[in-house]
Structure 1
Amino acid sequence: MNICVFLSAADLDERYTEPARHFAGLLGKRGHTLVWGGSDVGLMKVVADGVQEHGGRLVGVSVTFLADKARAGADEMVVARDLAERKAELLGRSDAVVIMVGGTGTLDEATEILELKKHGLHTKPVVLLNSAGYYDGLREQFRRMEAEGFLPLPLTELMFFADDPVAAMTYLEAGPDAAVR
């Protein structure tokens, strides 16, 4: 599977890097390909290192203004002209999406992917990896959106909240019968 991971390029605390490293190891060991923002810094580097160390492939999609931070040792690296093109490339090259901890850029990517899914423009599974409870507030917000009629489909069809890397990978590997695609 080509698994797109949206995540921070910041250097983060171990409570976030350890689950990311664990997920990267699972991804690599199980023969999947990481499709990610291409950066060789921060949490993006942690995940790319883990995937590569465990035999997985790396497909990066950088953007012109961040090309100097792109990972030199990726199996493939695309440089998009802007963030919109980058998001389209990331989604187009992936079979599934995992959202890890991040800031406004990660939140932007996540909401766009969810909006496209909401409108039926893709059916790929989306997993939100809730490391150290980082997305507890967002989970509550989505539950409220669903309860108050803001989501045209059940939250369980829009995304899966995983509290640990094993749950995230189990959901993705369960296939179309278990994961809503």
Structure 2
Amino acid sequence: MRICVFLSAADLDERYTGPARDFAERLGKGGHTLVWGGSDVGLMKVLADGVQDSGGRLVGVSVGFLSDKARPDTDEMVVAADLAERKKLLLAKADAVVVMVGGTGTLDEATEILELKKHGHTAKPIVLLNTAGFYDGLKQQFRRMEDEGFLPLPLADLVHFSDEPAEALAYLDSAIHA
């Protein structure tokens, strides 16, 4: 499976890096490919190191103004002209999407893929990996959107929330092979 992961490039503490390493190791040992923003810093580096060290492949999609932070030892690296092109390429190269902890860039990427799925422009499974309860507030907001009629399809058809890396990967395996 080619799994696109949206996540932070910030240096974060162990409550976020530990689960990221766990997910990365499972991804790599499963023979999967990580499709990610291509950065060799922060949580992006933690994830890429774990996938590569565990035997997985790396497909990076950087963007011109961040290319100086791009990981040099990937199986494939593409440099997009801008953030919009980067998101298109990330999604085109993936079978599934996982949203890990992150800031505004991660949230932008997540909402774009969710909007595409809402409108039927992708059927790729999407998991929000809710590490250390990071997305509890967003989950509550999505439930409110569903309850008050803002979503044209059930929330469960749009996104799957997972608290643990193993469960996230198991969900993707079952969704892809269904």
Give me the TM-score of the superposition, normalised by structure 2.
Answer: 0.99
> 1:128 maps to what in 2?
128
User: Alpha-carbon deviation of 1:177?
Assistant: 6.3
User: Alpha-carbon deviation of 1:174?
Assistant: 1.1
> 2:29 maps to what in 1?
29
Within 2, Cα distance between the matches of 1:155 and 1:113? Answer: 14
> C-alpha deviations, 1:62-87, integer Å up to 9, x for none?
00000000000011000000000000
CA shift in 2, pair 1:61/1:166, >3 Å = same
Within 2, Cα distance between the matches of 1:176 and 1:25? Answer: 20
Within 2, Cα distance between the matches of 1:143 and 1:15? Answer: 26
Please tell me the residue identity of whatever aligns with 2:6.
F
> C-alpha deviations, 1:151-170, integer Å up to 9, x for none?
00000000000001011011
Matched residue SS, 2:128: strand
User: Alpha-carbon deviation of 1:27?
Assistant: 0.3
> 1:15 maps to what in 2?
15
Q: Does 1:53 align with 2:49?
A: no
Matched residue SS, 1:4: strand
Please tell me the residue identity of whatever aligns with 1:91.
L
Within 2, Cα distance between the matches of 1:172 and 1:37? Answer: 20
> 2:117 maps to what in 1?
117
Within 1, Cα distance between the matches of 2:177 and 2:23? Answer: 22
Give me the TM-score of the superposition, normalised by structure 1.
Answer: 0.97
User: Alpha-carbon deviation of 1:141?
Assistant: 0.2
User: Alpha-carbon deviation of 1:175?
Assistant: 3.4
Please tell me the residue identity of whatever aligns with 2:67.
A
> 1:155 maps to what in 2?
155
Matched residue SS, 1:174: helix
Say if 2:36 and 2:59, in contact at 8 Å, map to a contact too.
yes
Say if 2:5 and 2:100, in contact at 8 Å, map to a contact too.
yes
Within 2, Cα distance between the matches of 1:168 and 1:176? Answer: 12
> 1:38 maps to what in 2?
38
> Matched residues, percent identical?
75
> C-alpha deviations, 1:84-115, integer Å up to 9, x for none?
00000000000000000000000000000000
Please tell me the residue identity of whatever aligns with 1:122.
T
> C-alpha deviations, 1:97-136, integer Å up to 9, x for none?
0000000000000000000000000000000000000000
Query: Following TM superposition, where does structure 1 have runs of at least 4 consecutive aligned residues deviating by more than 3 angstroms?
Result: 175-178
> 1:108 maps to what in 2?
108
Q: Does 1:6 align with 2:36?
A: no
